[in-house]
Amino acid sequence: MKLATFEIQSERRVGLVDPDGTTVRPFDLTLAESAQGVTVLIGRSEMPRQMEPIPLSQIKLCAPIPLPSRNIFCVGKNYHAHAKEFASSGFDSSAASSVVPKDPIIFSKVPETVVGPGAEVRIDPDVSTSIDYEAELGVIIGKGGRGISAKDAMDHVWGYTIINDVTARDLQGKYSQWLIGKSQDTFCPMGPWVVTADEVDLGSMRVRCAINGEMRQDASVRDLIFDVPTLIETISAGVSLKAGDIIATGTPEGVGIGFKPPRYLVDGDLMRVEIDQIGYLENPVRAL
């Protein structure tokens, strides 16, 4: 199932996107329930009643989880080629011991960074002049737990979405940690919807990113250094995962910092992140 959060007539709703991708069927939920986004559906034994379909052209898609209940778990340097390009960039505070990490590098983005499809990613030149894009597969946890083993981890996955882990590289380097550079307002585009785990084959997924139509990133999810079960096992070892938690699994080679000279985002750029079996997420860049 493709499950979307959207607005129509200034009201937020949650619905089922039809297989042809042209209409959405709202669920019979209260406005308070719909305000939670698609996470309101996690753990239900059956889906709420569906209402009449609405053309997607008549609604505004929102981030499927408009305001996560806590920080988004993110993974750094999780593709071999990207680990190497980032280590050589001069902005990598994690590279002292090894270019390719021996264990997952986990950091986070604050919930308020999340914006939906089509929303502007705002860059403030008074704060940063080195804004970068990062196309990533997002994993949505459906069943929480602590000490989850890799062999049981996929039983805890509810669905998948697309995340663009926008980053201020200069802030990332300045503070020798990643929270501030990753958590600027609007720095987490997410969407266009969540695809439930039963409809996804991770082994055949590719992650792509184009800037103004120019393909910059293109890699298979099979190329992850640490796969989804390993990430869930790593995070849940002492940190209790909760239903609705989001894990951004890392970005492939081809980010702006990897070019010489770097090719950072500027006012007017259009970012398009696409992942097989999910769809695409587009966001324009606007300078304040």
For residue range 153-181, list pLDDT tens digits in order: 999 999 999 999 999 999 998 988 899 99
Selected residue with higher pLDDT from 190 and 94: 190
For residue range 5-18, list pLDDT tens digits in order: 999 999 999 999 99
Selected residue with higher pLDDT from 175 and 68: 68
Q: Kindly state which CATH superfamily the domain 72-287 is placed in.
A: Fumarylacetoacetase-like, C-terminal domain (3.90.850.10)
Mean pLDDT of 16-35: 96
Among 181, 157, 159, residue whose Cα is nearest residue 235 = 157
Whether 185 has a pLDDT exceeding 60, the answer reads: yes
- Side-chain half-sphere exposure of 91, counting CA atoms within 13 A: 25
Q: What is the distance in angstroms between the CA of the first residue and the CA of the last residue of the chain?
A: 38
Selected residue with higher pLDDT from 284 and 173: 284
For residue range 84-97, list pLDDT tens digits in order: 776 665 666 555 55
- pLDDT at res. 81: 75
- pLDDT at res. 90: 62
**If pLDDT is split at 50, 70 and 90, which confidence band does 126 have?**
very high
Q: In the chain, where are the structural domains located?
A: 2-61, 72-287
Residues of the chain with pLDDT > 70, as a percent, come to: 95
- pLDDT at res. 99: 78
- Extended beta strands in the chain, E state: 2-8, 11-17, 23-26, 54-55, 60-61, 72-76, 105-109, 114-115, 121-123, 131-132, 135-141, 157-164, 167-168, 188-196, 206-211, 214-220, 246-248, 270-275, 279-287
Among 273, 256, 264, 271, residue whose Cα is nearest residue 86 = 256
**If pLDDT is split at 50, 70 and 90, which confidence band does 240 have?**
very high
- pLDDT at res. 173: 87
Mean pLDDT of 260-272: 97
- pLDDT at res. 94: 58
- pLDDT at res. 100: 85
Euclidean distance between CA atoms 118 and 7, whole angstroms: 13
Confirm if 121 and 233 have CB atoms less than 8 A apart.
Answer: no
- pLDDT at res. 98: 62
Confirm if 15 and 24 have CB atoms less than 8 A apart.
Answer: yes
